[in-house]
A and B are shown apart, each in its own frame.
Chain A
């Protein structure tokens, strides 16, 4: 018994689409470096918004950083906030439009450095928003400077001999910090460098938006991602390095359910 001989063109013609770009992503080519984890994170958020059917009722808040141009790529309403102030802006939007779904999309330089105060106080107030936090351990857009999340010994343009914890402190585990606050309903750390982890991250984002629907409080999803340009590696090398080093300090999993 043999199966019929079939060409790729026939598969495309006769078969069904099992994966395609979500309509909530625009046709603009992403401005990120080749291999950057931002693209997958953008897609996951937009897929969840699309699948929940809340595209017309969702307002995103873009940060300052590589993802400052998120409004170009996400085909929903987006407000761009001042550096680090995305949770404060999201608070305002959510209070004016309590029926809308509001999320912020921030990097580690934005959320964990200049925006630490806004993040902690928004979480402490238990604002009913979703915070998507992309942690790549470096300031990507400005040229690979040391961020609060840079690992000990990790080289960056402002720590050329590696981060020394005696003078520069330890990497900030901000998701664990805010998980201790009663206003936070859900805090989790995920990654997007393998297909399995991408699927888990999507489930976490679905849960976060569901929490917002149920008015449970703040949900924060940290996504550990690569910055191959900032780390001076190829995309494949950077994902391997992330797996071996970043995940040892920033373990994946739910911190607060």
Chain B
């Protein structure tokens, strides 16, 4: 599990399922959903939550600016 944890929130209705974030993600966090959104696109969704580091590479390449990235450094216990 990465030391710094991240989470992505994707605006499903703004996503056009172009697949660029899925390909760009270095940790395979994202995939295209099998469900379609209101416009008929298969939006990207995070599924491999534990691997996300919040590196925001997905958000940088997203042409529809529908990704918000959060980052959190958990305390050691």
Contact = CB atoms under 8 A, between A and B. Distances in A.
Interface of A: 1-4, 6-12, 14-21, 25, 29-30, 32-40, 42-43, 192-195, 198-199, 234-236, 239
Nearest to B13: A29
A40 B61 contact: yes
11 contacts: A8-B46, A11-B6, A11-B71, A16-B72, A17-B70, A19-B67, A21-B68, A29-B14, A34-B16, A39-B65, A194-B61
A198 B19 CA distance: 17
A195 B65 contact: no
Contacts of B63: 30, 32, 34-40
Given A7-B49, A43-B65, A195-B24, 9 more contacts: A3-B3, A3-B75, A4-B75, A11-B5, A17-B69, A20-B68, A40-B62, A194-B61, A236-B23
B20 to A, nearest CB: 6
Interface string B1-45: 101011101000110111110011000000000000000010000
Contacts of B9: 12
A199 B59 CA distance: 12
A34 B64 CA distance: 8
Interface of B: 1, 3, 5-7, 9, 13-14, 16-20, 23-24, 41, 46, 49, 52, 54, 56-57, 59-72, 74-77
Closest 5 CB pairs of A and B: A15-B72, A39-B63, A35-B18, A34-B16, A34-B18
Contacts of B41: 34
Contact of A3 (B13, B20, B67, B74): B74
Given A195-B57, A198-B61, A236 B19 contact: yes
Contacts of A195: 24, 56-57, 60-61
A43 B13 CA distance: 18
A38 B18 CA distance: 13
Given A19-B56, A29-B14, A35-B16, A11 B65 contact: no
B60 A198 contact: yes
Contacts of A33: 16
